[in-house]
Structure 1
């Protein structure tokens, strides 16, 4: 069962690493080959390994491909589950906390952002267990809360991975922010966030870009996309589908 924590205080710390190299034609070519193999039933890990070994791609490039390339049928199914931001009004929202906040943090830090084959925005850093709560975490949380208020959500449940450093402190901080607004809801830490979200999702809207969760639920929202769409700063969204690569100025498909 999820654990509800009350007394901890938020912590501050952390830095980021160097940015990833720019997108190149070889990476796009590899993506097309992987997509072709996945569409014909090849296992994803095997397809990525085979193509990346052939092209002698670096570990960072392999990671980008693994996060963003999908079999066309899976990509289409996920896109059909993706709701627009205005659908949040009066709805109950279940948020995959670290998934959403880490993506927003990396957006704020100027990291490369990607639109996957399924249309969901992801970063290319893969930070999870190494995550620390810092000032950028607070800024990301404020952006998320502001977006939820603007779109007049009915209620919110946030799940945080208990194994993450100081997750209890972050849960307390998020709960305080929700109470200040106010937003009806609560924050829980759990040893298995994926299962908790699947268990309680029902007719709720789930906020995540985690493909495993998206595949298991009915209605999904891309909170980072909603946040970015409402801001005026310019952002280049990478994509391994050339028809999607573009620079945006506060406007993306939401």
Structure 2
């Protein structure tokens, strides 16, 4: 896997997200999205409407989309959220690329966005190929520290099989598990979202569809940001 410098931050992001004025505009856009979504309007049409209204470029629209949810979605996701003191001896299904890439973005000081549902999302995506970055090993170590501290029984890592380099990442995680005697199962699958949602295990993800459909979830990024004192650029519009 080719090593890159970091994950997720583009040269224009300070201009797009870094000022109080811009953040106020994004907050208004999210408020409008929430209103329309809560009244049953479609996400795609609503995002186009709100994006035009506030003159947001595609990257800003992506951020607004990640932060927005309907009232019923917020209540549903939060009602299924497990707290850290209830994790001991439990089995967890982790959305591998989602969790790793988000944590790599946080460690890279990229902008990440706290949604109305309390889950943090980034602007990175895999695009068919996963490239290891400087922060990859640290991200896995932080997830391992969480696994040990909360005495979790088993981690089931799920990665998209078609993504290039997923096999190498699987091997890397399996070697760490073997070395430390962690009960980690790493699987490459064609539809991780569906498998995680239907697994009846506690889901670790910020993916909206999985959160809507899984029976339980744990907000790992909220936990890591509060427990492990990570420096981050979290855009929080509360």
Global fold match (TM > 0.5): yes
- Kept in 2: contact 1:97–1:158 (CA 8 A): yes
- Structure 2 matches for 1:122-137, cutoff 5 A? 122-123=121-122, 125-129=123-127, 130-137=129-136
Indicate the larger mover: 86-95 or 222-231.
222-231
Unmatched runs of 5 consecutive residues or more in structure 1: 1-10, 243-254
Aligned residues: CA RMSD: 1.7
Residue 204 of structure 2 aligns with which residue?
207
CA deviation after TM superposition for structure 1 residue 185, in Å: 3.0
Contact 1:97-1:159 within 8 A present in 2 as well: yes
Write out aligned runs for 1:88-127 (5 A): 88-123=87-122, 125-127=123-125
Q: Is the 8 A contact 1:12 1:135 kept in 2?
A: no
Shift of 1:237: 2.6
- 1:194 is displaced (CA, Å) by 1.2
Cα distance in 2, alignment partners of residues 198 and 231 from structure 1: 28
Q: Is this contact kept in 1: 2:107–2:230, CA < 8 A? A: no
Q: What are the ranges of 5 or more consecutive residues in structure 2 without an aligned counterpart?
A: none
1:141 and 2:140 are equivalent in the alignment: yes
TM-score, length-scaled by structure 2 = 0.89
CA distance in 2, matches of 1:229, 1:108: 14
| Change beyond 3 A, Cα 1:233–1:159 | closer
2:3 is aligned to: 13
CA offsets, 1:165-224, max 9 Å, x none? 21001001111111222221310111111122233x22x211111111111111101222
3-state SS of 1:114 partner: strand
- Provide the C-alpha distance between the structure 2 equivalents of 1:94 and 1:79, rounded to a whole number of angstroms: 18
Over 3 Å counting, the alpha-carbon distance change for 1:28 and 1:182 in structure 2 is: same
- Shift in Å at residue 234 of structure 1? 4.4
Structure with a larger share of its residues in helix: 2
In structure 2, do the counterparts of structure 1 residues 109 and 186 end up closer, same or farther at CA, with 3 Å as the change threshold? same
Pairing of 1:36-185 with structure 2 (within 5 A):
36-123=35-122, 125-129=123-127, 130-185=129-184
Q: Within 1, Cα distance between the matches of 2:85 and 2:134? A: 29
TM-score of the aligned structures, taking structure 1 as reference length: 0.84
The CA deviation at 1:12 is: 4.0
User: Number of residues paired by the alignment?
Assistant: 228
Work out whether residues 66 and 113 of structure 2, in 8 Å CA contact, stay in contact via their aligned partners in 1.
no
Contact 2:130 2:166 in 1 (8 A): no
